[in-house]
Amino acid sequence: MRFTNATATAVLSALQVANAQTFTTCDPTKKTCPGDSGIGNGKPFDTDFTKVTGTDAPTGWTYADGTTMSYDSTNGANFQISTKTGAPTISTSQYIMFGNVSVYAKASPGTGIVSSFILESDDLDEIDWEWLGSNDASVESNFFGKGNVTTYDRAIYHPIANAVTGWHTYNIEWTKDYVKWYVDDMVTPVRILAYDDPKTIKGTQFPQTPMKIKLGNWVGCADAAAASDPKTEGTCEWAGGPASFDSGASYSMYVKNITISDAGCGGTYTYTDQTGSYGSISSSNEGDTCGSSGSTSSAAASSVASAASSTAVELPTSLIAGASSGTTSAAAANATTTASASASSVPAGVSPASGNATGTGSGSGSGSKNATSTGSGSSGAGATTTKAGGSSSSSTSAPQITANSASSHKYGAVELAVMFLGLGVGYLVM
Ligand SMILES: *[C@@H]1O[C@H](CO)[C@@H](O)[C@H](O)[C@H]1NC(C)=O
Ligand SMILES: *[C@@H]1O[C@H](CO)[C@@H](O)[C@H](O)[C@H]1NC(C)=O
Ligand SMILES: *[C@@H]1O[C@H](CO)[C@@H](O)[C@H](O)[C@H]1NC(C)=O
Ligand SMILES: *[C@@H]1O[C@H](CO)[C@@H](O)[C@H](O)[C@H]1NC(C)=O
Ligand SMILES: *[C@@H]1O[C@H](CO)[C@@H](O)[C@H](O)[C@H]1NC(C)=O
Ligand SMILES: *[C@@H]1O[C@H](CO)[C@@H](O)[C@H](O)[C@H]1NC(C)=O
């Protein structure tokens, strides 16, 4: 890390105030939320942006507020910024529960400009690739758990040639046991984050809830004023200094194609409790419809995601009450306890359907112990002012509710409150 402590603090506060890209419309670790429509592991979801015509979002993608895009047959999707408030961002309409994502991209040049390819969940687990337009020699990997931005010590800069001026394939392989980041191949990861890495705080900060894939280009440092404003100076320093829009300058990140494989079972992914642990995530798809054409490695995630099924969607009132009171309830803290206390709401890992190998991992409840969801995100929730991108999530929840009325009615009213949580990726939308 190149930051001094003071700078890191400045970055932290800047992002908490300024962030708008990373947010959640409903945090399932704090309240009941609509389920997440899953892609499922039947077949990869590929998008070839060089084949897109027009400017509407391609099938399966959603534009953040204020996003305009163009597409061409040579470079694919053009995430172009030509003003200091530009922040074109697209996200998948559906979620994955572990899996692989590969993006063939050329990051945006330009001092102060930040390109990003991230996976992000409703409770603000996050896995990132980011590029600084001022740095053609490296790409950054990063992760966050449950929106915890107490520290900024998880980013790693990986040296690669032509990080900004060249095309590369960037991969994320995400399982319950690890996250691996790869550049240009799926053989030698440039980074491996194990579930029990010390930085995951015993797994509690390991990204492990259903994720959308988001691609975007944004202005990390708008101008000289931002560079001297205590609230944004840290971000500005990180971004390499103020962006220049003199003489009609514009900056484009290009993405030719993306391949997404969901290791989970698809259907609707539901947080069966408020721990935010992978063992608490169920899929509405039964085991027999899941994994039949999936890859071999999907077994673990499939069983995690499939076990609870539609019958286990309903949360026991005691669990809701206990968890929402602010402390993690005893039941939530131990999957086994939950199961015996309330046979109808079995955390995925405990169900017999989760089988042998995965039962050990998820059934142990190691991820759900010590659920640390409360508090962390609230530090960033003070970022009240900006609005952007709010529609992307809420518009995708709506169809889920109609499509899955069985589970949605059990969950009650849809939460539409928009919470802005500070995170490592921040749009400076003024
Ligand atoms: C992810 O990629 C790895 C390496 O190519 C492969 O072994 C694994 O099966 C893939 N998983 C999914 C869910 O596609
Ligand atoms: C993405 O584009 C690159 C470059 O044209 C190509 O080599 C690769 O096969 C493409 N991937 C997919 C999944 O279409
Ligand atoms: C959780 O469940 C396991 C298995 O039954 C048990 O050994 C352990 O003591 C429990 N832990 C807590 C905190 O209840
Ligand atoms: C499940 O258990 C059987 C029998 O113990 C074992 O042969 C098999 O390898 C296990 N499956 C996995 C995925 O570990
Ligand atoms: C929670 O985790 C912390 C740090 O990992 C540990 O010190 C503490 O004992 C855990 N608390 C419980 C209740 O397991
Ligand atoms: C947030 O992360 C820090 C370290 O990165 C950790 O010390 C702290 O316990 C975490 N907070 C929560 C609520 O998990």
Predicted confidence at residue 291, as pLDDT, reads: 55
Strand 267-271 and strand 281-283: the pairing is antiparallel
Has residue 404 got a pLDDT over 70? no
Has residue 387 got a pLDDT over 90? no
Question: Is 383 inside a domain boundary?
Answer: no
Q: What is the DSSP letter of 147?
A: T
Q: What is the DSSP letter of 419?
A: B
CA of residue 172 to ligand 1 center, whole Å = 10
Q: Is 299 in the pocket of ligand 4 (CB under 6 A)?
A: yes
Q: Is 29 in the pocket of ligand 6 (CB under 6 A)?
A: no
Say if CB 170 and CB 176 are below 8 A apart.
Answer: no
Has residue 326 got a pLDDT over 70? no
283 and 254 in a common domain: no
Which two tokens mark 185?
Answer: 């191949």
The ligand 3 atom nearest the CA atom of 336 = 2
CA of residue 112 to ligand 2 center, whole Å = 29
Has residue 171 got a pLDDT over 60? yes
- For residue 24, list its beta bridge partners: 419
Say if CB 38 and CB 96 are below 8 A apart.
Answer: yes
103 and 210 in a common domain: yes
**What is the chain's length?**
430
* Choice between 313 and 298, residue whose per-residue pLDDT is larger: 298
What is the C-alpha to C-alpha distance for residues 190 and 159, in angstroms, rounded to an integer?
Answer: 9
Q: Is 13 in the pocket of ligand 6 (CB under 6 A)?
A: no
139 and 46 in a common domain: yes
Question: Is 156 inside a domain boundary?
Answer: yes
191 and 46 in a common domain: yes
The ligand 4 atom nearest the CA atom of 300 = 13
Helices and strands, counts by H and E, the chain: 11, 18
The ligand 4 atom nearest the CA atom of 299 = 13
* Residue after which a domain boundary falls, among 376, 396, 424: 376
For the chain, the domain total comes to: 2
Residue 22 confidence class, pLDDT cut points 50, 70, 90: low
258 and 271 in a common domain: no
Say if CB 113 and CB 133 are below 8 A apart.
Answer: yes
Residue among 159, 166, 161 nearest 138 (CA): 159
| Strand order across the beta sheet in which 126-132 lies | 61-63, 89-92, 211-219, 113-121, 126-132, 138-144, 156-159
Measured between alpha carbons, how far is residue 401 from residues 106, 173, 271 in Å? 36, 29, 15
Question: Is 20 inside a domain boundary?
Answer: no
DSSP string, 225-273: HHHHSTTTHHHHHHHTS----GGG--EEEEEEEEEEEE-S--EEEEESS
253 and 121 in a common domain: yes
Has residue 340 got a pLDDT over 90? no
Predicted confidence at residue 288, as pLDDT, reads: 58
Can you say how many angstroms the Cα of residue 48 is from the centroid of all Cα atoms in its chain?
Answer: 21
For the chain, what percentages of helix, strand and coil (3-state, to nearest 5) are there?
25, 25, 50
pLDDT tens, residue by residue, 179-195? 999 999 989 999 999 99
Predicted confidence at residue 229, as pLDDT, reads: 95
Question: Is 175 inside a domain boundary?
Answer: yes
Residue 53 confidence class, pLDDT cut points 50, 70, 90: very high
Other residues' Cβ atoms within 10 Å of the Cβ of residue 228? 11
- For residue 183, list its beta bridge partners: 170
256 and 288 in a common domain: no
Buried b or exposed e, range 251-283, using 16+ CB within 10 angstroms: bbbbbbbbbbbbbbbbbbbbbbbbbbbbbbbbb
205 and 277 in a common domain: no
What is the C-alpha to C-alpha distance for residues 171 and 101, in angstroms, rounded to an integer?
Answer: 6
204 and 86 in a common domain: yes
277 and 209 in a common domain: no
Predicted confidence at residue 287, as pLDDT, reads: 67
CA of residue 358 to ligand 4 center, whole Å = 10
- For residue 105, list its beta bridge partners: 168, 255
Predicted confidence at residue 231, as pLDDT, reads: 92
DSSP string, 32-58: --PPEEE--SSS-EEEEGGG--SSSPP
* Choice between 66 and 303, residue whose per-residue pLDDT is larger: 66
Residue nearest to atom 8 of ligand 5 (CA): 370
Residue 341 confidence class, pLDDT cut points 50, 70, 90: very low
Question: Is 399 inside a domain boundary?
Answer: no
Which two tokens mark 380?
Answer: 């960033």
Residue nearest to atom 1 of ligand 3 (CA): 334
Predicted confidence at residue 151, as pLDDT, reads: 83
Domain with 64, as residue range(s), is 39-214+249-262
What is the C-alpha to C-alpha distance for residues 336 and 350, in angstroms, rounded to an integer?
Answer: 7
Mean pLDDT throughout 57-77?
Answer: 97
pLDDT tens, residue by residue, 104-156? 999 999 999 999 999 999 999 999 999 999 999 999 999 999 999 888 889 99
Residue among 388, 286, 371 nearest 337 (CA): 371
Which positions ≥6 away from 65 have C-beta within 8 Å? Answer: 387, 388, 389, 390, 391, 392
Say if CB 107 and CB 163 are below 8 A apart.
Answer: yes
349 and 256 in a common domain: no
* Choice between 410 and 162, residue whose per-residue pLDDT is larger: 162
Q: Is 298 in the pocket of ligand 1 (CB under 6 A)?
A: yes
What is the C-alpha to C-alpha distance for residues 416 and 418, in angstroms, rounded to an integer?
Answer: 6
Q: Is 328 in the pocket of ligand 1 (CB under 6 A)?
A: no
311 and 190 in a common domain: no
Predicted confidence at residue 152, as pLDDT, reads: 82
Q: Which ligand is nearest to the CA of 350?
A: 3
Question: Is 204 inside a domain boundary?
Answer: yes
Least confident of 57-61, 90-94, 421-425: 421-425
Q: Which ligand is nearest to the CA of 200?
A: 6
Least confident of 8-12, 151-155, 410-414, 424-428: 410-414
Mean pLDDT throughout 159-174?
Answer: 97
Has residue 200 got a pLDDT over 50? yes
What CATH number does residue 156 fall under?
A: 2.60.120.200
Pocket test for ligand 5, best of 146, 202, 337, 373 (most atoms within 8 A of CB): 202
Can you say how many angstroms the Cα of residue 427 is from the centroid of all Cα atoms in its chain?
Answer: 15
Residue 43 confidence class, pLDDT cut points 50, 70, 90: confident
Q: Is 295 in the pocket of ligand 1 (CB under 6 A)?
A: yes
pLDDT tens, residue by residue, 249-295? 999 999 999 999 999 999 999 999 999 999 999 999 866 567 554 33
With both helix axes pointing from N to C terminus, report the angle between 373-380 and 5-18 in degrees, rounded to the nearest 10. 80
Give catalytic status of residue 126 as yes or no.
yes
Q: Of 247-251, 404-408, 410-414, which one has max mean pLDDT? A: 247-251
Has residue 211 got a pLDDT over 90? yes
Question: Is 327 inside a domain boundary?
Answer: yes
Mean pLDDT throughout 91-108?
Answer: 98
Least confident of 22-26, 136-140, 187-191, 200-204: 22-26
The percent of residues above 90 in pLDDT, for the chain, comes to 58
What is the C-alpha to C-alpha distance for residues 335 and 273, in angstroms, rounded to an integer?
Answer: 10
Question: Is 403 inside a domain boundary?
Answer: no
Predicted confidence at residue 284, as pLDDT, reads: 93
Residue type, 113: I
What is the C-alpha to C-alpha distance for residues 269 and 37, in angstroms, rounded to an integer?
Answer: 6
Q: Is 365 in the pocket of ligand 5 (CB under 6 A)?
A: no
| Active-site residue identified among 120, 130, 140, 173 | 130
